[in-house]
Amino acid sequence: MPYVHEFGIVACIEKDKEYNHYEPEKYDCIIVDGDFLDELRSKDFGKKMLQLDTFAHNTNFPYKSLVYFGITLIPPSSHKQFLHIVNEANGKYKSEELEELMKKITEAIKGDKWMIHFGV
């Protein structure tokens, strides 16, 4: 894979903490090929992703979508919407990586935990 994105679950989000270190092992991240994330930003899914409430690097910087070249914090309130978008994309592309991402999102929903995304 030329470039990847990684998604994990944060056991306990720290308000005001600057999440700016690349630590995928700390959050038990899964890897998703960058091509699939490019598709989520495409015309088919881009408008939906731009409605996804997230945070860039810390909980004091509200954002929309995923921070492509950085770290995104995804609050529990956005998980169902994110899961719906990924499920719709998987219906189109049938990817094992998107299946794993859906499992990770579902795990976060069940635990009412934040997710973290490490962009390229």
Residues of the chain falling short of pLDDT 50: 1
Distance of CA 20 to the CA centre of its chain: 15
Q: What is the pLDDT of residues 86-109, one digit of tens each?
A: 999 998 888 999 999 999 999 999
Per the rule left: phi > 0, alpha: psi between -120 and 50, beta: everything else, 17 is beta
Q: Provide the sign of the torsion angle of the four alpha carbons 106, 109, 110, 115, taken in this order.
A: positive
Tokens 């881009």, residue located: 46
